[in-house]
Amino acid sequence: MNNSTSAQIIDGNALAAHLRTDVKRRAAALAAKGVTPGLAVVLVGENPASQVYVRNKVKGCVDAGMHSVLERYADTMTEDELLARIDALNQDRTIHGILVQLPLPVHIDAAKVIEAISPAKDVDGFHIASAGALMVGQQGFWPCTPYGCMKMLESIGYNLRGKHAVVIGRSNIVGKPMALMLLQQNATVTICHSATADLKALTLQADVIVAAVGKRNVLTADMVKPGAVVIDVGMNRNDEGKLCGDVDFEGVRQVAGYITPVPGGVGPMTITMLLVNTLEAAEREFAA
């Protein structure tokens, strides 16, 4: 380690804990009025990573004083059977948010299933109605991971107006909604992807970089302007099997002004924003 200045770490665990305290308070207030916010999590098949994710989502809900049911089905479940379950959950007054864990088995059309979820209960923000609402700035549900990234920027008091934000990755779940959220806050936004000709030339101009590719060392110290804010959405394993992000953390932290670690950065924020969306869904229904 040299003596150069080091970036401030944006602590996702601490921010998540802080936000969850507020969720818990609001959930209790709503429960006192007779409405306990409820999330249904649907898992089809035996994907080991998915099993861990859904357990954490249900636990997050219960810890926040909300109601949560986990529906697990064998990978022999048909598309029609799943659509029938979604329909029942759409009608269920105790359920305010519905989340179908992805990936689904290949014989089930994930797009069709997502579109079957009532937009009022689409707490993942994956429905076309939610994507459209984000695009035109109307009320909907924001996808949890980019929403969490925005909360991290907010937590350091960062004003995006007129800043150049570079998003690396163009997925429907992170890259594209991330770019729209940054744009809504008046940043000038560049979206980079696998066909981008000169990634480094663009990231070197960036005041904010969000790396959401799913590949190690996509962003290295030579690609970062001194003082830039670096948000790492990646979840990868290094050669030793340890969790790491898309950013070369040890290198980039010597150059950046702020950086999010992996683990303990964006990860804990994603479930937190799911809780926020579920609470919000229940509050909206109560107000309606």
Q: Which residues are catalytic?
A: 57, 101, 124
Exactly one of 39, 66, 101, 277 binds ligand GUN (CB under 6 A); which one? 101
Residue nearest to ligand GUN (CB): 102
**In whole angstroms, how close is the CB of 135 to ligand GUN at the nearest point?**
19
The answer to whether 223 contacts ligand GUN (rule: CB under 6 A) is no
The answer to whether 278 contacts ligand GUN (rule: CB under 6 A) is no
Closer Cβ to ligand GUN, 101 or 272, answer by number: 101
Question: How many residues belong to the site for ligand GUN (CB under 6 A)?
Answer: 6
State which of positions 44-63 bind ligand GUN (CB under 6 A): none
**In whole angstroms, how close is the CB of 185 to ligand GUN at the nearest point?**
22
Binding mask 140-179 for ligand GUN (x = CB under 6 A): ----x-----------------------------------
SS3 of the chain: the string is: CCCCCCCEECCHHHHHHHHHHHHHHHHHHHHHCCCCCEEEEEEECCCHHHHHHHHHHHHHHHHCCCEEEEEEECCCCCHHHHHHHHHHHHHCCCCCEEEECCCCCCCCCHHHHHHHCCHHHCCCCCCHHHHHHHHHCCCCCCCHHHHHHHHHHHHCCCCCCCCEEEEECCCCCCHHHHHHHHHHCCCEEEEECCCCCCHHHHHCCCCEEEECCCCCCCECHHHCCCCCEEEECCCEECCCCCEECCECHHHHCCCCCEECCCCCCHHHHHHHHHHHHHHHHHHHHHHC
Exactly one of 122, 124, 207, 246 binds ligand GUN (CB under 6 A); which one? 124
Binding footprint of ligand GUN on the chain (CB under 6 A): 99-102, 124, 144
